[in-house]
């Protein structure tokens, strides 16, 4: 399954080849990570951010030459997710005070950590030892051969992308070719300290698994049956009706959309293994996103009808929000229309509870958008463009006028009642 790059073409190879490439990459980094870090050619934070952005933009140009598009990636891991990863990576490291060489590697890897989803379906990984993270690492490693990076930088960027999924345990996997392979945890501690360039892409990843956009993003994954990794193992996601029950996992006996959101929200702290080494500005952004998402979780869990609404108007507004802000691609459009039909078939009470949850999510999304727009006031104008793929990321971030008017009306009514 690996990646064989040619100018203007890419193709998958067998997993046995790719697995060998990943083992080689791991060995080359893990035997002397700090020596490689010393070779990263960065002077200071400003240099790190500026050079990282130039390379990110160059990578997108190379992807365009390879005829890569994002229109058919499954919803939730396409262009919308990429835009938010790009946004979060810049805002996190421009505002936060972190080590410059690690910023350089972590920012590139953070913005591009899910690029492997153009080659491997995100929810088709159970029988793979080489998953979207590893494929993305190999893809970017090959692209970097054409760009102005040294060998140490190339290895570290690829490694940081491969390690972003943060699997904790060693796992024996029976792969699709019948071969059993072992997936080992990536090295993220060096000399008993966090290896920050590995943690930084994980931070960026977690920021779009936490917050109002994640409510809508996870909803989009319910378009079709799949298997997702939750907690300690893969779970089958087969029934939209069961998944949309507005209850906790303890009550239903199986994961629900609400329990999935709560699992991510409850992990956003320094007592959890995933957030254990968060510090500085990451804690501030993480906590802000968590507060916004918990407002939806708590409203749905309460079962209260906080907002009055016309069902058709609400469904239309939510569908447009999914299409324009969460996943502005062909797969996002098609997925949102499929979900619209599924949602209309839910029973009246469940629809009412989640309709209120959707309104709350869009209200909190506006707060998320405003927050990150304020941070982006420091950006250079060219940073707002992702070459060939998004002329201005603010068009993805900001609600369209009709959706904004719908939300403003709900807030005004609520204030009058208060």
49: left (phi over 0), alpha (psi -120 to 50) or beta: alpha
Sorting pLDDT into bands at 50, 70 and 90, what band is 239? confident
Q: In terms of pLDDT, which residue wins out, 145 or 122?
A: 145
Per-residue pLDDT band for 251 (boundaries 50, 70, 90) equals low
Nearest to 123 by CA among 60, 54, 73, 188: 73
Pairwise CA distance, residues 94 & 111, whole Å: 13
The pLDDT of residue 418 is above 80: no
Residue 4's pLDDT is 54
Q: How confident is the model at residue 230 (pLDDT cuts 50, 70, 90)?
A: low
| Displacement of CA 288 from its chain's centroid (Å) | 17
Cα–Cα dist 193/92, whole Å:
21
pLDDT of residue 8: 37
What is the distance between the terminal CA atoms of the chain, rounded to a whole angstrom? Answer: 58
**143-152: b or e for each residue (b if 16 or more CB lie within 10 Å)?**
bbeeeebeeb
How many degrees, rounded to 5, is the angle at CA 263 between CA 261 and CA 285? 75
Q: DSSP letters along 330-385, please?
A: HHHHHHHHHHHHHHHTS-HHHHHHHHHHHHHHHHHHHHHHHHHHHHGGGS-GGGG-
Q: Which pair of structure tokens corresponds to residue 385? A: 């463009």
- Overall average pLDDT of the 321-350 stretch: 96
> Which residues, other chains included, contact 54 with Cβ-Cβ below 8 Å and sequence gap of 6+?
none
Which of 205-219, 245-259, 303-317, 359-373 is the least confident region?
245-259
Of 61-70, 247-256, 303-312, the poorest mean pLDDT is in: 247-256
Which carries the bigger pLDDT value, residue 252 or residue 196? 196
pLDDT, average across residues 214-221: 97
In whole angstroms, give the CA distance from residue 350 to residue 415.
Answer: 25
Rounded Cα distance between 198 and 186, Å, is: 9
pLDDT band at 73 (very low <50, low <70, confident <90, very high): confident
Whether residue 193 has pLDDT greater than 90: yes
Mean pLDDT taken over the chain? 91
Question: CA 77 to CA 187: how far, in whole Å?
Answer: 25
Using an 8 Å Cβ cutoff, are 280 and 96 in contact? yes
Among the listed residues 119, 108, 137, 117, the one whose alpha carbon sits nearest the alpha carbon of residue 29: 137
Domain residue limits, the chain: 15-415
Question: What 3-state class would DSSP assign to 66?
Answer: coil
- Least confident interval from 125-134, 243-252, 333-342: 243-252
Whole-number pLDDT of residue 10: 46
What is the per-residue pLDDT for 252? Answer: 60
Residues in a beta bridge with 181: 173
């Amino acid at each position: 399954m690996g990646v064989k790059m040619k100018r203007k073409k890419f193709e998958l190879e067998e997993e046995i080849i790719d697995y060998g490439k990943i083992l080689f990459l791991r060995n080359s980094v893990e035997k002397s990570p700090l020596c490689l870090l010393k070779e990263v050619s960065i002077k200071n934070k400003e240099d790190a951010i500026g050079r990282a952005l130039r390379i990110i933009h160059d990578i997108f140009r190379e992807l365009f030459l390879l005829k890569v598009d994002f229109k058919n990636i499954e919803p939730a891991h396409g262009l919308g997710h990429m835009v938010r990863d790009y946004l979060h990576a810049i805002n996190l490291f421009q505002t936060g005070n972190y080590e410059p060489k690690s910023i350089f590697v972590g920012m590139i890897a953070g913005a591009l950590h899910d690029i492997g989803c153009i080659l491997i379906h995100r929810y088709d990984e159970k029988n793979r030892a080489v998953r979207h993270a590893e494929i993305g690492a190999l893809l970017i490693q090959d692209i970097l051969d054409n760009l102005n990076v040294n060998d140490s930088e190339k290895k570290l960027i690829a490694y940081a992308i491969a390690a972003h999924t943060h699997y904790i345990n060693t796992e024996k996997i029976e792969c699709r070719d019948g071969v059993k392979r072992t997936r080992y945890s990536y090295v993220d501690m060096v000399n008993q300290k966090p290896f920050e360039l590995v943690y930084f892409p994980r931070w960026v990843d977690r920021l779009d698994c936490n917050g109002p956009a994640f409510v809508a993003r996870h909803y989009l994954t319910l378009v079709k049956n799949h298997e997702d990794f939750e907690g300690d193992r893969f779970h089958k996601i087969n029934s939209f009706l069961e998944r949309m029950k507005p209850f906790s996992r303890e009550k239903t006996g199986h994961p629900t959309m609400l329990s999935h959101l709560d699992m991510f929200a409850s992990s956003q702290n320094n007592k959890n293994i995933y957030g254990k080494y968060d510090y500085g500005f990451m804690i501030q952004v993480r906590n802000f996103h968590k507060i916004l998402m918990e407002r939806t979780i708590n409203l749905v869990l309460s079962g209260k009808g906080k907002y009055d609404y016309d069902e058709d108007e609400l469904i239309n507004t939510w569908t447009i929000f999914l299409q324009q802000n969460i996943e502005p691609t062909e797969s996002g459009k098609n997925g949102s229309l499929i979900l619209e039909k599924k949602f209309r078939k839910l029973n009246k009470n469940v629809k009412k509870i989640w309709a209120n949850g959707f309104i709350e999510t869009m209200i909190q999304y506006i707060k998320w958008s405003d927050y990150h727009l304020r941070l982006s006031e420091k950006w250079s104008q060219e940073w707002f463009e992702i070459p060939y793929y998004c002329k201005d990321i603010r068009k993805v971030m900001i609600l369209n006028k009709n959706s904004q008017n719908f939300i403003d009306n709900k807030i005004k009514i609520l204030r009058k009642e208060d």
